[in-house]
């Protein structure tokens, strides 16, 4: 069973389009994240949600809008796609307990977005 699953895995779309990436985790974790990995492999936090509440909202264009209908799901909608949005988007989750290991992050398989 996949612990953190996201769809689609590959997405090729034209500039200006709107697209969504869906994510679900079956680990019972309280916190979910969206990370963006650029061509240089740098993983950067975009958003995090804890029990459906937005916790982290980094400096991301407001064309990116996360939505968490429940604590097991975190979707990412992107409006008016631009060439620079091409990247790999990873969904992740963590337990978020008070223990040091609580923030161990488990990643989904990634969504490869290419904007042409």
Partner 1 sequence: QKEVEQNSGPLSVPEGAIASLNCTYSDRVSQSFFWYRQYSGKSPELIMSIYSNGDKEDGRFTAQLNKASQYVSLLIRDSQPSDSATYLCAADTGRRALTFGSGTRLQVQP
**Site residues for partner 1 per CB under 8 A:** 31, 33, 35, 40-45, 48, 50, 55-56, 90, 96, 100-101, 103-110
Q: Which two tokens stand for residue 115?
A: 């904007």
Residue closer to partner 1 by CB (options 31, 75) is: 31
How near is the Cβ of 27 to partner 1 at its closest, in Å?
13
In whole angstroms, how far apart are CA 63 and each of 15, 16, 25, 79, 102?
13, 11, 24, 5, 31
Residue closer to partner 1 by CB (options 32, 78) is: 32
Residue closer to partner 1 by CB (options 35, 78) is: 35
Q: 34 near 93, Cβ under 8 Å? A: no
How near is the Cβ of 100 to partner 1 at its closest, in Å?
4
H or E element in which residue 34 lies: strand 31-37
How near is the Cβ of 111 to partner 1 at its closest, in Å?
10
Distance CA 3, CA 69 (A): 18
Residue closer to partner 1 by CB (options 15, 56) is: 56
Distance CA 29, CA 51 (A): 9
How near is the Cβ of 108 to partner 1 at its closest, in Å?
6
């Amino acid at each position: 069973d996949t612990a953190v699953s996201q769809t689609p895995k590959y997405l090729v779309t034209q500039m200006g389009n709107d697209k969504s990436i869906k994510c679900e985790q079956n680990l019972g974790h309280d916190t979910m994240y969206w990370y963006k990995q650029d061509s240089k492999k740098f993983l950067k936090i975009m958003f995090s949600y804890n029990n459906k509440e937005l916790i982290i909202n980094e400096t991301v264009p407001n064309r990116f809008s996360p939505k968490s209908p429940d604590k097991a799901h975190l979707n990412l909608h992107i409006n008016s796609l631009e060439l620079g949005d091409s990247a790999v988007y990873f969904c992740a989750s963590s337990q978020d307990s008070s223990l040091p290991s609580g923030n161990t992050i488990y990643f989904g398989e990634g969504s490869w977005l290419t904007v042409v």
